[in-house]
């Protein structure tokens, strides 16, 4: 499984550790060089486009809070990026929302980050019709074909 990963200047060390610890996955590092003046949207767009272009199956984004990265990534058509701060959110992001990118704060404990990522990557989308229907509405809205109630 290929995973696109990136951080702004805030999470460089954590990104390196994630790649080292989760060595069962193949990583595409979309932020190989960071500077103190880099901007998180640039990296969010790189990871999101890697998924849209089918270079990677999933994405991981790190920044100060994970919020800015998730906002930027979700501007890319076809992306469902979930900002997560605990295991339940990581599980539900995949299970209920079929998210394809997880955005995290680099400030969290590294072990918590690793566990959230593992949970995110190993959780399958729910088979329940209601979750499929809800995700499909998001996809339809992006395509301009959503018929509001």
User: What amino acid positions are annotated as catalytic residues?
Assistant: 63, 96
Instruction: Give the orientation angle of helix 110-122 with respect to helix 12-21, to 10 degrees.
Output: 50
Question: How many residues belong to the chain?
Answer: 149
Q: Distance between CA atoms of 102 and 109, rounded to whole angstroms?
A: 16
Phi, psi of 59 (to 5 degrees): -135, 155
Q: Distance between CA atoms of 43 and 49, rounded to whole angstroms?
A: 10
Bridge partners for 105 per DSSP = 63
Identify the three-state secondary structure at position 18.
helix
Q: Distance between CA atoms of 21 and 61, rounded to whole angstroms?
A: 16
Task: Indicate the DSSP class of residue 123.
Answer: P
Bridge partners for 6 per DSSP = 61
């Amino acid at each position: 499984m290929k995973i696109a990963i990136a951080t702004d200047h805030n999470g460089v060390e954590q990104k390196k550790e994630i790649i080292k610890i989760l060595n069962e996955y193949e990583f595409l590092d979309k932020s190989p060089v960071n500077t103190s003046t880099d901007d998180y949207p640039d990296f969010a767009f790189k990871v999101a486009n890697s998924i849209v272009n089918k270079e990677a199956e999933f994405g991981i984004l790190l920044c100060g809070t994970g919020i800015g990265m998730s906002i930027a990534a979700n501007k890319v058509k076809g992306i469902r990026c979930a900002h997560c701060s605990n295991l339940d959110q990581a599980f539900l992001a995949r299970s209920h929302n079929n998210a394809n990118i997880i955005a995290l704060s680099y400030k969290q404990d590294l072990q918590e980050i690793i566990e959230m990522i593992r949970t995110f990557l190993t959780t399958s989308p729910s088979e329940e019709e209601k979750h499929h229907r809800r995700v499909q509405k998001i996809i339809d809205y992006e395509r301009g074909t959503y018929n509001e109630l």
